[in-house]
């Protein structure tokens, strides 16, 4: 008889937001995950459409946690990273617009827990990042690079976290020789997310782009990555690491 594998205990922070609602809605598609706690504004419990009660913070006696998905707000990220590190809980940080100074705190936490910083959890955006780095490495320093992102009117940060992550891939590929990447952001309507990276020389250009029309792709990617992260050793991870196993 095969040994029964216990489900992964999951905490969702920011459960009352757009992404949190999608995570709760799609959780039934992932029987290996079991919701332990949904952290968010209790007044928005009904907005999840799942009848799931939310708590305003971590209950003092919270137990059975194997992984935490944080899609709350940038201001809460440092405290959430510290709390997860102190509790020994693996953390996927999907919140964007965080202070660059958070990198040091993430590095410190990675010595104690597995932590994955993911400004975009979709499969397509993860592939795009790899293609951008490869193109940057092959094109060398002669091309100018611009990155454009388009999102809904309610998105707070501009450029988006994904746009900045794509810029880091460009710099990692050394395509612009240390010169700054040009960013442009558009906030209109209810656009879920579009990103375009353009490499341009005097007589030619290359355009790499990715678009999302359904927020569920982010939620499914996050839930898949969370299941994977719960089994990892302490360290700093990226979505590409989770994608390699898939």
| 246 is annotated as an active-site residue | no
| 155 is annotated as an active-site residue | yes
> Of the residues 83, 151, 195, 210, which is catalytic?
151
Q: Are 177 and 142 in contact (CB under 8 A)?
A: no
Nearest to 87 by CA among 118, 66, 116: 66
Nearest to 41 by CA among 62, 21, 61: 21
Whether the bond between 89 and the residue before it is cis, its omega within 30 degrees of 0, is: no
The three-point CA angle 71-154-94 to 5° equals 15
> Of the residues 155, 195, 210, 246, which is catalytic?
155
Catalytic residues: 151, 155
């Amino acid at each position: 008889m095969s040994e029964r594998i216990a489900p992964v205990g999951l905490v969702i922070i920011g459960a009352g937001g757009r992404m949190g609602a999608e995570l709760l809605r799609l959780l039934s598609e992932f029987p290996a995950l079991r919701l332990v706690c949904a952290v968010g504004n209790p007044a928005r419990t009904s907005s999840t459409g799942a009848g799931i009660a939310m708590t305003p913070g971590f209950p003092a006696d919270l137990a059975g946690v194997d992984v935490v998905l944080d899609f709350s707000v940038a201001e809460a990220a440092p405290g959430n990273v510290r709390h997860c590190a102190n509790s020994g809980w693996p953390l996927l940080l999907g919140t964007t617009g965080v202070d660059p100074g958070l990198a040091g705190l993430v590095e410190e936490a990675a010595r104690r827990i597995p932590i994955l910083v993911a400004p975009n959890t979709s499969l397509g955006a993860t592939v795009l990042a790899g293609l951008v780095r490869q193109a940057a490495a092959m094109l060398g320093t002669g091309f100018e690079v611009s990155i454009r992102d388009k999102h809904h009117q309610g998105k707070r940060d501009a450029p988006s976290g994904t746009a900045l992550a794509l810029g880091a891939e460009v710099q990692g590929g050394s395509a612009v020789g240390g010169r700054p990447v040009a960013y442009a952001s558009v906030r209109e309507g209810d656009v879920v997310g579009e990103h375009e990276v353009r490499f341009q020389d005097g007589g030619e250009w290359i355009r790499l782009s990715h678009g999302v029309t359904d927020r569920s792709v982010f939620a499914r990617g996050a839930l898949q990555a969370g299941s994977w992260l719960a089994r990892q050793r302490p360290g700093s991870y990226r979505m590409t690491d989770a994608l390699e196993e898939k």
